[in-house]
Structure 1
């Protein structure tokens, strides 16, 4: 039989999972605490007990998601392998995150477009600053001075921008990327990012 603490931990996880999907799909303003309660099958008092209020719940969603994925990227960046191999692996991992985690992609897009300065600063503090620093070092290993300028932001922007444009780009006439296999797609995107980094 599960203990109260185990029930509490699993309950928090259910609420976080449901909230993540709702916030990713509808944005912060588009989601109500009642909706979260209904879809998670937890009462409003239980949700408020665990998270305090909607702002704190949103921060918990961001902390969970960005914390997990930034750790994965930093682990890749610290691997003891050749700089170019490591950079390619880092880009491939970032591609994987956006391609295979639609909630992460949508939440990332919403965070950049919809949220104010306070939330942007929060995101930098919980994840982006750490990833930016290790990516800066990785880019400098790959090509001296490449990480000191706009290289890290260009890399993230290219990958995120690519997936942001994907829903409409597949309708372009003669668009080569739509006709190739998933592994060819990853290779082509990685190569495009590497080429862009070389000129920054």
Structure 2
């Protein structure tokens, strides 16, 4: 792995685990096994590194979603795949999940705007295209944010799920959760 990507990997983990404010450039350099001044050969400052890190972490997921949006499958199949991929990504990639959660909790307007406009915007526009086909007269912004909320909540509640009433092993299976979210979501379109 080259130095640039080693820095991004180390930074993603540190930012996810500790948050933007708590991480220093020295911390990132140490975790990357380079000297702190060397970071500035790749990134002009901490904010630039953080923004690049967010784009890098989200790019893989966004690329997977784009391939779904560009597929020849039905609109409903595309929606189902988006839900499955998003649940899997949120469950399997702790850095991805924690970065989103931290940004929402920190509520820093500038960083949220960057995340929405520079990292998630294109994917949300593509999602809007699916929703326009399924429910042309619906409030697509509301549907997109509702879908995001359903996916994030089901992942976040996972550790507590077994202690809630009527818990069953199927409630921990991504396929079951994905199908349930899809059915709940799609029933409003018919």
TM-score by length of 1: 0.85
Task: Specify the alignment match of 1:6 in structure 2.
Answer: none
- SS of the aligned residue for 1:49 comes to coil
Residue 39 (structure 1) aligned to one of 22, 31, 44: 31
1:180 corresponds, among 162, 170, 177, to: 170
2:140 to 134, 138, 148: 148
Aligned with 1:48 (options 28, 35, 40): 40
Give how far 1:197 is off: 4.7
Structure 2 contact 16–102 (Cα < 8 Å) conserved: yes
Q: Distance in 1 between matches of 2:179 and 2:62?
A: 19
C-alpha root-mean-square deviation of aligned residues, in Å? 2.1
Following superposition, which runs of at least 4 residues in structure 1 exceed 6 angstroms of deviation? none
1:121 equivalent in structure 2:
113
How far apart are 1:172 and its partner, in Å?
2.4
Q: Which runs of 5+ in 2 are unaligned?
A: none
Query: What corresponds to 2:181 in structure 1?
Result: 192
Q: What per-residue deviation string (whole Å, max 9, x for no partner) do you get for residues 53-102 of structure 1?
A: 11111111011112332222122122111111111111111111111111
Residue 173 of structure 1, CA deviation: 4.4
Please, which of 48, 58, 64 is the counterpart of residue 66 of structure 1? 58
Structure 1 unaligned blocks of 5 or more: 1-8
1:181, CA displacement in angstroms? 8.0
1:21 aligns with 2:13: yes
Residue-by-residue CA offset, 1:109-138 (whole Å, 9 max, x unaligned):
111111411111111222322111111111
Judge conservation of contact 1:77–1:135 (CA < 8 Å) in 2: yes
| More off after superposition, 22-31 vs 145-154 | 145-154
How far apart in 2 are the matches of 1:29 and 1:148?
A: 34
Q: Mark the CA change 1:103 to 1:51 in structure 2 (over 3 Å): closer, same or farther.
A: same
Deviation at 1:147, TM superposition (A): 5.8
- TM-score norm. by structure 2 comes to 0.89
| Equivalent residue, structure 1, for 2:163 | 171
Contact 1:98 1:105 in 2 (8 A): yes
**SS across alignment from 1:113:** helix
- For the 8 Å contact 2:84–2:174, the answer to whether it is kept is no
